[in-house]
């Protein structure tokens, strides 16, 4: 087509070469390779076994010897005939189960054979295929929206955990579905929720195909049905579903095959996600051309992709710049045979010269392309470039692809602009959609004067004189600085490639310039100054592109950028967050750029705003509060302690919990904190363990200065630890007295641990090396997690032996750094108590042991661990997990440090030395007098203590995982405000009623471990060790010397029913982390009934608070009890029951 002209002015419109006059249907296009190349290689899934799909293929469909390799038996390698046969078999089975033509099929699958076969089968059935990001299940609102919008009648998910999450959160959205499917592994051992079928069940070869009539076939050939509904990224609003038809997808494949080009001899390394339009067209397109698609892993892994290129001879590597950078950074990339690579296909707004060089030098590929496309149409334009050094030039997005057309238009008038003038990119062609589901954003589609359809992309671009296209960025992201357009993508690319800084750039308000750029870094780098950034950006882009301010995610109270379900950064949300932060702080005017390090603006005072505190409370508990909110409405003493610790960590301020409680509103807290001085330094160096040798007699409070007791301790420690390879001289750091409550309630009794926790977690991003590094750093910061429990001297029940954080301990606690291999998180959970791990929980009772694991299904790391409860309480464990979570933040450097904790030893020594003081003795005596009446309450004890298990090794004792129950407390906020009753009092009252009824008495007896949480010394609450203390052992010893029967009842009561209120933040009852995924906790416990409770504040305020109850005991015994207590809590919390007498709750 002749380019449009206006007199002698060349306009910014270009049309690509025409496609064939007749575009075949998608069904015909995908079936053709089975006829033309039946026994050629079509699909390889290197992470899935050859027998992954239970099909007995006819011999005629198998790979020919030309394409067969020894890897045929190692992992899945299929011919075009096999793929065609499998898709037909799946289509027949789906139809037999009620799936009819036109029913949308939604999939939540990683890259793999299930995705490919499901797609090909959907095309055969003429069912619209709906590819969704598997991670969208984490956003229930968005997942519900997409399933409802697509009207999916079939849902296929990757594993049972996803199915269960959907059942819990999206049950209403799945009510009208015809079929719900869980993909199974080759062992078929995964558990399917009720109503779901296994993917492997849908390949029943006895199911026959119904014959179609001649009229049906003719009608199907003429219709251009909707074939796929991919969702847009939704960076500014909810995602939109694009209506791709059979024709648009066929045109996309034909256009891309011609533009790249690729043929029947091409092999695509498919490591781009298959919920993204680019990954889909490349992945399916190579197969449609008679070539092969090689899938290295379920999600991207640089090492897996390099292996795919080497072992399967991939010719093409569709990627984005970050993927190329990660592959190039692999340690052994230089040793991998990459000689088969012909083209690396990139797709990004900004590709720098460094990216071209990286492809040539690191990946040894001669050609790189850069293309422009969108969910609404792919491909649109493509440029081809050599990677040989010396052949530079700006890397644009090339010329318009076959079948496509592009014009650059004025944003206001819609008229085509002259070449070289920036404007909005409009595109059209057979590969483009004509609209979204439901007619959303209809104004973005229009027809010109000759009836050709166009789509307004929202992207800014420039068409050069030669017709090549340069994409500048999204119009909605552009920063208008004093009338000049600043493209954030350009700044981000330069900071990434030139300085190694990962950043997102947004615009914020400026009185002088209208808008100025601000950069948000994933992490700060003290080695990079503002001067470095300024110099680099001025040289590459100009003065206007230098960010006015630079913050880190931590400065904004974020762990990651706000993202869509497809993983794209929501810049509109990030911009709001940055603007809010800028509005709330007082920044110091820039001094000398050369002296300013990257980070948050320097504060001249500890000015803490109400906005800061509102954000901190929301981050801590997930509650929405205002300046006038009272902290007593949503926080108990434990939560206040956590808040106090975050104030110290985030703002460097020391303050007691008592002071915070006195300022009970957000506004008064902000005023109080702003009046304080920033803590000038970490704890006094005198508190740190600086000696190089073992502890001396003066370092061990248990010795009381006695050389003979010191020798006794040294001999005891050496005898216990030397068989494990630890030496007194080199490895013992300190000896601590055991805390009373830890020993009496959680510790060792007659050679077995009373409570031994086992937990399973996986990482969201980190591999095993990164997880091990983070664990070592966390354990180094938490001395109690590298300790043993031994019998103490002079009648002391136990003592804790802390060993140094050296390589010897790291290898010991990680079992020699052994890495287990598991298929999925469910298999990891099964290892918690399989009888083969953690035999070391026996004497000398190490506090913390782990087993690292590589989780194949996620490509990330996991671990199971055993923790002795005698070394931690709920608050100190939360601190440890928070530190580990922070150390796993992507981009966190191994050398980076977290704020230090106060060493536990000084307090433990003080507690031990002063618990026999006059004040302590008087307090103990008061408790003894109060408890001396226990023998009269024997009939009030419930439940009976189970038979003693103290002679049974801990590894052989039964472990429990108890179900959780939740109770909505709609009036909790009012109960707090009007009557000052916190939630744990509600639980105590409910438990008391239940126990009194069970025993038929008027008294309830149970223990609760919450004493000693108020402490006047600021630094105590920063310790990396237990904060819950009580003179438990002193009370027992005094009772023993007086009333023997009272002492016995005291022990029995402590072991009957124990109530524990936890300081945790949860979402739907599960612990919330940024970089860790909690799965399960198991524990063996001698307490007959241990009741853990916590409150999950409403997402939008206290009126939606929910009480969670979890009982650690035999579910068959206590399940009914726990439900009864939860019911009583709900009844007591109901406003209509306040003031009613006990007994009226039976009708509730």
Q: Are 349 and 492 in contact (CB under 8 A)?
A: no
Please classify residue 506 by burial: count the beta carbons closer than 10 Å to its beta carbon, then call 0-12 exposed, 13-18 middle and 19+ buried: buried
Q: What phi and psi values does residue 369 have, to the nearest 5 degrees?
A: -115, 160
Model pLDDT, residue 958: 55
Pairing relation of β-strands 748-749 and 752-753? antiparallel
**What DSSP character marks residue 1135?**
G
Whole-angstrom distance, CA of residue 385 vs CA of residue 255: 19
- Per-residue pLDDT at 97 exceeds 90: yes
Please give the share of the chain, as a percent, with pLDDT higher than 70. Answer: 77
The string of pLDDT tens digits covering residues 1027-1078 is 545 566 667 667 655 555 666 777 777 777 777 777 666 777 777 778 888 8
Model pLDDT, residue 31: 96
- Per-residue pLDDT at 689 exceeds 90: no
CA atoms within 13 A on the CB side of 233: 15
Distance, CA of 116 to chain centre: 26
Whole-angstrom distance, CA of residue 121 vs CA of residue 86: 8
- Per-residue pLDDT at 139 exceeds 50: yes
Q: Are 1069 and 1108 in contact (CB under 8 A)?
A: yes
Question: Cβ–Cβ contacts within 10 Å for residue 1033, how many?
Answer: 19
Instruction: Convert 657-696 to b/e letters by CB count within 10 Å (16 or more is b).
Output: beebbebebbebbbebbeebeebeeebeeeeeeeeeebbe
* Among the listed residues 481, 469, 527, 526, the one whose alpha carbon sits nearest the alpha carbon of residue 505: 481
The answer to which of 554-563, 787-796, 1053-1062 has the lowest mean pLDDT is: 1053-1062
Q: Are 1118 and 1089 in contact (CB under 8 A)?
A: yes
- Per-residue pLDDT at 285 exceeds 50: yes
Model pLDDT, residue 252: 98
Whole-angstrom distance, CA of residue 390 vs CA of residue 337: 25
Model pLDDT, residue 514: 59
* Among the listed residues 611, 623, 613, 617, the one whose alpha carbon sits nearest the alpha carbon of residue 1103: 623
**Residue partners of 1048: CB distance under 8 A and separation at least 6:** none
* Among the listed residues 763, 742, 997, the one whose alpha carbon sits nearest the alpha carbon of residue 877: 742
Mean pLDDT of 1000-1007: 86
Helix/strand/coil for 100:
coil
Q: Are 60 and 81 in contact (CB under 8 A)?
A: yes
**Residue partners of 435: CB distance under 8 A and separation at least 6:** 243, 442, 445
The string of pLDDT tens digits covering residues 243-283 is 999 999 999 999 999 999 999 999 999 999 999 999 999 99
Model pLDDT, residue 683: 41
Whole-angstrom distance, CA of residue 664 vs CA of residue 269: 59
**What DSSP character marks residue 663?**
S
Region of 131 (left: φ > 0; alpha: ψ -120 to 50; beta: rest) is beta
Q: Structural domains in the chain?
A: 478-595 (3.30.300.30), 610-681 (1.10.1200.10), 693-910 (3.30.559.10), 924-1076+1084-1147 (3.30.559)
Pairing relation of β-strands 1057-1061 and 1089-1096? parallel
- Per-residue pLDDT at 83 exceeds 90: yes
Q: Are 427 and 456 in contact (CB under 8 A)?
A: no
Question: Cβ–Cβ contacts within 10 Å for residue 450, how many?
Answer: 5
Whole-angstrom distance, CA of residue 298 vs CA of residue 112: 6
Q: Are 409 and 4 in contact (CB under 8 A)?
A: no
Dihedral sign for Cα 308, 310, 313, 315, please.
positive
Whole-angstrom distance, CA of residue 315 vs CA of residue 650: 50
Whole-angstrom distance, CA of residue 277 vs CA of residue 240: 13
Mean pLDDT of 871-890: 78
Q: Are 356 and 389 in contact (CB under 8 A)?
A: no
Rg of the chain over Cα atoms, rounded to whole angstroms, equals: 33
Q: What phi and psi values does residue 329 have, to the nearest 5 degrees?
A: -85, -10
Mean pLDDT of 294-316: 96
Greater model confidence, 109 or 684: 109
Model pLDDT, residue 9: 64
**Residue partners of 209: CB distance under 8 A and separation at least 6:** 88, 92, 95
Question: Cβ–Cβ contacts within 10 Å for residue 595, how many?
Answer: 10
Whole-angstrom distance, CA of residue 684 vs CA of residue 902: 9
The answer to which of 805-809, 891-895, 1099-1103 has the lowest mean pLDDT is: 1099-1103
Q: What phi and psi values does residue 1121 have, to the nearest 5 degrees?
A: -60, -50
Dihedral sign for Cα 79, 84, 89, 94, please.
positive
Whole-angstrom distance, CA of residue 832 vs CA of residue 906: 35
Please give the share of the chain, as a percent, with pLDDT higher than 90. Answer: 34
Model pLDDT, residue 505: 92
Helix/strand/coil for 1006:
coil
Helices (H), 132-193: 140-150, 160-169
How far is the first Cα of the chain from the last one, in angstroms, to the nearest whole number?
78
- Per-residue pLDDT at 369 exceeds 90: yes
Q: Are 101 and 227 in contact (CB under 8 A)?
A: no
Q: What phi and psi values does residue 568 have, to the nearest 5 degrees?
A: -80, 145
Greater model confidence, 657 or 63: 63
Q: Are 482 and 410 in contact (CB under 8 A)?
A: no
* Among the listed residues 766, 792, 788, the one whose alpha carbon sits nearest the alpha carbon of residue 777: 766
Region of 463 (left: φ > 0; alpha: ψ -120 to 50; beta: rest) is beta
**What DSSP character marks residue 243?**
-
The answer to which of 366-380, 404-418, 498-512, 711-725 has the lowest mean pLDDT is: 498-512
Region of 1068 (left: φ > 0; alpha: ψ -120 to 50; beta: rest) is left
Model pLDDT, residue 532: 77
Distance, CA of 701 to chain centre: 44
Helices (H), 500-609: 530-540, 571-584
pTM: 0.52
Measured at the CA of 363, the angle between CA 360 and CA 368, to 5 degrees, comes to 50
Q: Which secondary structure element, helix H or strand E, spans residue 999, and what is its range?
A: helix 983-999
Whole-angstrom distance, CA of residue 241 vs CA of residue 235: 14
Q: Which secondary structure element, helix H or strand E, spans residue 620, and what is its range?
A: helix 610-621
Model pLDDT, residue 1002: 87
Q: Are 50 and 72 in contact (CB under 8 A)?
A: yes
* Among the listed residues 138, 117, 120, the one whose alpha carbon sits nearest the alpha carbon of residue 566: 138
DSSP 347-371: --S-B-HHHHHHHHHTS--SEEEEE
CA distances from 862 to 27, 34, 1002 (A): 42, 41, 49
Greater model confidence, 1111 or 492: 492
Whole-angstrom distance, CA of residue 711 vs CA of residue 716: 8
Q: Are 252 and 378 in contact (CB under 8 A)?
A: yes
């Amino acid at each position: 087509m002749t380019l449009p002209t206006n007199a002698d002015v060349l306009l910014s419109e270009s049309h690509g070469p025409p496609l064939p006059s007749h575009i075949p249907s998608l069904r015909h296009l995908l079936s053709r390779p089975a006829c033309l190349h039946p026994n050629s290689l079509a699909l390889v899934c290197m992470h899935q076994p050859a027998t992954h799909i239970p099909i007995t293929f006819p011999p005629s469909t198998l790979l020919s010897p030309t394409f067969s390799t020894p890897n045929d038996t190692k992992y899945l390698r299929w011919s075009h005939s096999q793929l065609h046969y499998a898709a037909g078999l799946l289509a027949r089975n789906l139809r037999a189960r009620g799936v009819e033509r036109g029913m949308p099929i939604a999939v939540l699958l990683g890259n793999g054979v299930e995705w490919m076969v499901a797609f090909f089968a959907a095309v055969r059935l003429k069912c619209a295929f709906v590819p969704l990001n598997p991670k969208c299940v984490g956003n229930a609102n968005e997942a519900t929206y997409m399933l409802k919008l697509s009207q999916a009648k079939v849902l296929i998910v990757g594993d049972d955990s996803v199915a269960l999450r959907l059942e819990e959160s999206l049950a209403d959205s799945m009510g009208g579905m015809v079929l719900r499917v869980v993909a199974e592994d080759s062992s078929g051992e995964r558990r399917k929720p009720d109503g779901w079928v296994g993917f492997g069940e849908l390949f029943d070869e006895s199911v026959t195909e119904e014959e179609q009539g001649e009229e049906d076939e003719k009608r199907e050939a003429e219709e251009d049905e909707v074939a796929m509904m991919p969702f847009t990224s939704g960076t500014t609003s909810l995602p939109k579903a694009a209506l791709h038809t059979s024709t648009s997808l066929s045109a996309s494949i034909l256009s891309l095959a011609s533009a790249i080009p690729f043929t029947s001899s091409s092999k695509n390394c498919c490591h781009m996600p298959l919920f993204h339009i680019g990954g889909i067209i490349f992945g399916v397109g190579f197969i449609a051309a008679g070539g092969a698609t090689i899938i290295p892993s379920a999600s991207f892994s640089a090492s897996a992709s390099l292996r795919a290129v080497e072992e399967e001879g991939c010719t093409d590597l569709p990627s984005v710049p970050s993927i190329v950078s990660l592959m190039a950074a692999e340690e052994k990339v230089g040793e991998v045979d990459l000689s088969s690579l012909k083209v690396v296909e990139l797709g990004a707004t900004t590709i720098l010269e460094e990216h071209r060089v990286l492809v040539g030098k690191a990946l040894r590929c001669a050609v790189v392309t850069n293309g422009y496309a969108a969910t609404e149409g792919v491909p649109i334009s493509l440029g081809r470039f050599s990677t040989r050094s010396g052949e530079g030039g700006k890397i644009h997005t090339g010329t318009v692809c076959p079948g496509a057309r592009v014009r650059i238009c004025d944003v206001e008038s819609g008229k085509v602009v002259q070449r070289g003038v920036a404007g909005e990119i409009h595109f059209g062609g057979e590969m483009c959609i004509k609209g979204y589901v439901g007619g959303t954003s209809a104004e973005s589609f229009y027809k010109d004067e000759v009836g050709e359809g166009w789509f307004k992309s929202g992207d800014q671009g420039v068409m050069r004189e030669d017709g090549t296209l340069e994409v500048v960025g999204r119009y909605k992201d552009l920063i208008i600085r004093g009338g000049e357009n600043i493209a954030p993508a350009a700044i981000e690319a330069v900071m990434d490639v030139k300085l190694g800084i990962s950043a997102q750039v947004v615009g914020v308000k400026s009185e002088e310039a209208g808008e100025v750029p601000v950069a948000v870094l994933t992490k700060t780098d003290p080695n990079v100054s503002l001067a470095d950034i300024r110099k680099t950006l001025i040289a590459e882009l100009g003065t206007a592109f230098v960010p006015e301010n630079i913050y880190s995610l931590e400065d904004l109270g974020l762990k990651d950028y706000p993202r869509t379900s497809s993983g794209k950064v929501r810049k509109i949300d990030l911009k709001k967050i940055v603007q809010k932060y800028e509005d709330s702080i007082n920044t110091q005017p820039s001094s000398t750029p050369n002296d300013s390090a990257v980070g948050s603006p320097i504060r001249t005072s500890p000015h803490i705003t109400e906005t800061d505190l509102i954000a901190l409370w929301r981050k801590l508990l997930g509650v929405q509060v205002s300046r006038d909110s009272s902290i007593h409405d949503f926080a108990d003493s434990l939560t206040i302690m956590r808040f106090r610790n975050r104030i110290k960590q985030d703002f460097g301020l020391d303050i007691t919990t008592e002071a915070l409680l006195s300022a009970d509103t957000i506004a008064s807290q902000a005023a109080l904190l702003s009046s304080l001085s920033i803590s000038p330094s970490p704890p006094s160096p005198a508190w740190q363990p600086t000696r190089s040798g073992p502890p001396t007699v003066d370092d061990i409070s248990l010795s009381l200065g006695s050389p003979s007791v010191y020798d006794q301790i040294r001999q005891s420690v050496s005898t216990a630890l030397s068989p494990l390879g630890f030496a007194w001289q080199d490895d013992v750091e300190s000896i601590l007295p055991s805390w009373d409550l830890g020993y009496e309630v959680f510790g060792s009794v007659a050679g077995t641990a009373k409570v031994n926790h086992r937990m399973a977690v996986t990482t969201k991003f980190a591999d095993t090396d990164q997880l091990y590094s983070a664990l070592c750093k966390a354990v180094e910061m938490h001395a109690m997690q590298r300790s043993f429990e031994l019998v103490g001297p002079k009648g002391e029940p136990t003592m804790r032996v802390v060993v140094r954080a050296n390589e010897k301990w790291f290898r010991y606690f990680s079992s020699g750094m052994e890495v287990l291999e598991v298929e999925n998180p469910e298999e990891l959970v099964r290892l918690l108590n399989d009888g083969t791990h953690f035999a070391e929980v026996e004497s000398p009772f190490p506090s913390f042991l782990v087993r690292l694991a590589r989780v194949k299904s996620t490509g990330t790391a996991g671990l199971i661990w055993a923790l002795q409860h005698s070394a931690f309480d709920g608050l100190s464990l939360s601190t440890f997990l928070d530190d580990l979570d922070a150390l796993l933040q992507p981009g966190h450097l191994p050398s980076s440090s977290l704020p230090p904790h106060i060493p536990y030893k000084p307090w433990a020594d003080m507690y031990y030395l002063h618990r026999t003081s006059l004040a302590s003795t008087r307090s103990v005596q008061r408790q003894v007098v109060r408890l001396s009446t226990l023998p009269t309450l024997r009939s009030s004890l419930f439940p009976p203590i189970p038979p003693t298990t103290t002679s049974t090794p801990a590894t052989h004792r039964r472990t429990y995982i108890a179900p959780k129950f939740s109770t909505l407390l709609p009036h909790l906020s009012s109960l707090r405000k009007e009557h000052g009753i916190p939630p744990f009092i509600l639980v105590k009252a409910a438990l008391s009623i239940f126990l009194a009824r069970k025993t038929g008495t008027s008294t309830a007896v149970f223990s609760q471990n919450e004493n000693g949480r108020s402490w006047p010394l600021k630094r105590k609450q920063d310790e990396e060790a237990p904060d819950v203390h009580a003179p438990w052992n002193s009370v027992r010893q005094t009772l023993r010397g007086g009333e023997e029967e009272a002492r016995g009842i005291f022990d029995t009561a402590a072991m009957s029913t124990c109530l524990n209120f936890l300081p945790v933040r949860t979402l739907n009852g599960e612990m919330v982390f940024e970089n860790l995924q909690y799965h399960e906790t198991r524990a063996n416990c001698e307490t007959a009934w241990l009741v853990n409770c916590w409150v999950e504040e409403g997402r939008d305020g206290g009126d939606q608070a929910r009480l969670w109850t979890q009982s650690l005991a035999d579910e068959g015994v206590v399940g009914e009890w726990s439900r009864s207590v939860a019911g009583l809590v709900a009844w007591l919390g109901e406003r209509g029951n306040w003031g009613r007498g006990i007994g009226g709750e039976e009708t509730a």
